[in-house]
Amino acid sequence: MKNRWSWILRNFLEFYTLTLPVGPVLVPSKPAAIYPRKGATGFSASSTAEEATQGLDGTGLTAIVTGASSGIGTETARVLGLRGVHVVMGVRNLTAGRGVKETIVRQNPNAKIDAMELDLSSMASVRKFAADFKSSGLPLNILM
Ligand SMILES: NC(=O)c1ccc[n+]([C@@H]2O[C@H](COP(=O)([O-])OP(=O)(O)OC[C@H]3O[C@@H](n4cnc5c(N)ncnc54)[C@H](OP(=O)(O)O)[C@@H]3O)[C@@H](O)[C@H]2O)c1
Q: What digits encode the pLDDT tens for the residues 123-141?
A: 999 999 999 999 999 999 9
| Overall domain count for the chain | 2
Query: With bands split at pLDDT 50, 70 and 90, how would you rate the model's confidence at 31?
Result: low
Q: Is residue 41 part of a domain?
A: no
| Domain assignment present for 22 | yes
CA of 72 to the centre of ligand 1 (A): 7
Instruction: Supply the range of the domain harboring residue 18.
Output: 2-34
Same domain for 56 and 27: no
Confidence at residue 58, expressed as pLDDT on a 0 to 100 scale: 97
Q: Which atom of ligand 1 is nearest to the CA of 71?
A: 16
Ligand 1 within 6 A of CB of 123 = no
Give, as one character, the DSSP assignment of residue 89. E
Rounded distance from Cα 24 to ligand 1 centre (Å) = 32
Question: Could you tell me if residue 77 is inside a domain?
Answer: yes
* Same domain? 77 vs 128: yes
58 lies in the same domain as 101: yes
Q: Is the pLDDT of residue 12 over 60?
A: no
Which helix (H) or strand (E) segment holds residue 142: the answer is: strand 142-143
Q: Which of 32, 42, 37 is nearest to 9 (CA)?
A: 32
Same domain, 16 and 84: no
Residue 111: CATH number of its domain: 3.40.50.720
Q: Which of 88, 119, 133, 81 is nearest to 103 (CA)?
A: 81
> Does the pLDDT at position 33 exceed 70?
no
**What residue spans of 13-143 are helical by DSSP H?**
31-34, 49-52, 71-82, 94-107, 123-136
Give the pTM: 0.79
